[in-house]
Amino acid sequence: MKIRFLDLFAGAGGLSEGFIQAGYTPIAHVEMDKAACNTLRTRTVYHELNKTAEGQAIYESYLRGEISRGELYSKVPSELLDTVIEEAIGSLTIDDIFRRIDRLKGEAEIDVVIGGPPCQAYSVVGRSRVGEEIKNDERNYLFHYYVEFLLKYKPRYFVFENVTGLHSAKDKNGDSFFTQVLTALNSAGYQVYKHLFRTELYGIPQRRRRVILIGCRDHFSISGDISVPETGECPLTINEIFADLQHIQAGEGEIRGDGRKPFSKRNAWMVENFISDDLFSVTYQQARPTNDHDKEIYRRAVEMWNTGKLRFNYAIDQPKEKQTHKNTKSFLDRFKVIGGEEHSSHTVVAHITKDGHYYIHPDIHQNRSITPREAARLQTFPDNYFFESATNKDGRGSAYKQIGNAVPVMLARLIANALKGKLQ
């Protein structure tokens, strides 16, 4: 039995990938960001080519940089690439998006709608940085378009993902956005079950908080809430998560090719959770360049971490004569080490695109911030997941942004598996 889903505000596809790993079939992905859409297309091609040994060899050639993106895409029917709808969801585009989805699905039903509107407008950090004007941000109201898709396709279930700040965010009139979201979803004919996930309790090597609303259409029978059992912390430490990747210094490494250590063994837990495999190269094991001043801070921060002081306070721990950053009043913990012997890191967010100060690698001998591949592993993306840019050139910054904005793939798979029992 095929269970078909539609992915809205899809980003780089973390939520979608988890549902595919659980055996679901995507009808379409709708996303406005060009780089993320290219990533979704490449992943769609991967899933098609991975069905045969010949296809796997083609995809491996792409990961190694031996063929172009265009050559890769030419190996699959164009209809597959059309399942990625590169469009901003809004009043001027929604009817056309409906028409394109209708063509893609034919007579088939959409069983599940997944996705969540961009979260910046609900983010507590976003509100602190932007201030009151964020209440007028039009992204606050994108959930209304999500509801339009529910009314149009009447899926049996939906999965609505967002940041925990959705609970406390208010509009310019002081009314709760969370209440508005729930009211809109209920009015569309759905019972809504709220979950607050702490990802480290589900085996994911990262501490991340997410609100997940799971809705069931009223006239479908449902026996209580949809349970996603906690599995406990990740059995591996961060050092073990990174262990088989090449050791590199700041500014070293490659986006293409195989970024694993020669002859390194795959970790069984990583294989079981779809992160590692023996078929494809590991890409994006490339560290950003770092100046000597910041590398010295990184070294000091790791030394302090290793002796039990877990926070590097810039105003206190950096000698006055070496303080080159102007801001010594706030964000004093801007330099932070990912603990190598811990089983989960702190949250990977899109700010990693700007600098790596908050994501210092635990190995003092490498003295750098983490690579996109290391960040992707903390988000439980498969090593064979390739992150595209908006152009035909590879982009480390684009990869960081997509990874930081994503839902951990493993969390998505756990939710998909819990939901599958209800759908079947």
pLDDT per residue, tens digit, the chain (424 aa), is 899 999 999 999 999 999 999 999 999 999 999 999 999 999 999 999 999 999 999 999 999 999 999 999 999 999 999 999 999 999 999 999 999 999 999 999 999 999 988 755 555 554 344 445 544 556 667 999 999 999 999 999 999 999 888 877 777 778 888 899 999 999 999 999 999 999 999 999 999 999 999 999 976 655 556 788 899 999 999 999 999 999 999 999 999 999 999 999 999 999 999 999 999 999 999 999 999 999 999 999 999 998 876 666 554 455 544 555 555 544 456 789 999 999 999 999 999 999 999 999 999 999 999 999 999 999 999 999 999 999 999 999 999 999 999 999 999 999 999 999 888 7
Helix, strand, or coil (residue 269): helix
HEC secondary structure over the chain: CCCEEEEECCCCCHHHHHHHHCCCEEEEEEECCHHHHHHHHHHHHHHHHCCCHHHHHHHHHHHCCCCCHHHHHCCCCHHHHCCEEECCCCCCCHHHHHHHHHHHHCCCCCCEEEECCCCCCCCHHHHHHHCHHHHHCHHHHCHHHHHHHHHHHCCCEEEEEECHHHHCCECCCCCEHHHHHHHHHHHCCEEEEEEEEEHHHECCCECCEEEEEEEEECCCCCCCCCCCCCCECCCCCHHHHHCCECCCCCCCEECCCCCECCCCCCCHHHHHCCCCCCCCCCCCEECCCCCHHHHHHHHHHHHHHHCCCCCECHHHHCCHHHCCCCCCCCCCCCECECCCCCCCECCCCHHHHCCCCCCECCCCCCCCECCHHHHHHHCCCCCCCCCCCCCCCCCHHHHHHHHHHCCCHHHHHHHHHHHHHHHC
At 121 the pLDDT is 58
CA angle 174, 177, 180 (to 5 degrees): 110
Pairing mode, strands 4-8 and 285-286:
unpaired
At 63 the pLDDT is 98
Give domain limits for the chain.
4-232+405-423
Catalytic residues: 119
At 215 the pLDDT is 94
Side-chain half-sphere of 64: how many Cα atoms within 13 Å? 11
Helix, strand, or coil (residue 62): helix
At 130 the pLDDT is 43
At 138 the pLDDT is 62
CATH of domain 4-232+405-423: 3.40.50.150
Structure tokens at 14: 């973390």
What is the pTM for the complete model shown? 0.92
Pairing mode, strands 190-198 and 157-162:
unpaired
At 323 the pLDDT is 53
Give the dihedral sign, CA 250/353/361/129: positive
Backbone angles phi, psi at 158, to 5 degrees: -135, 155
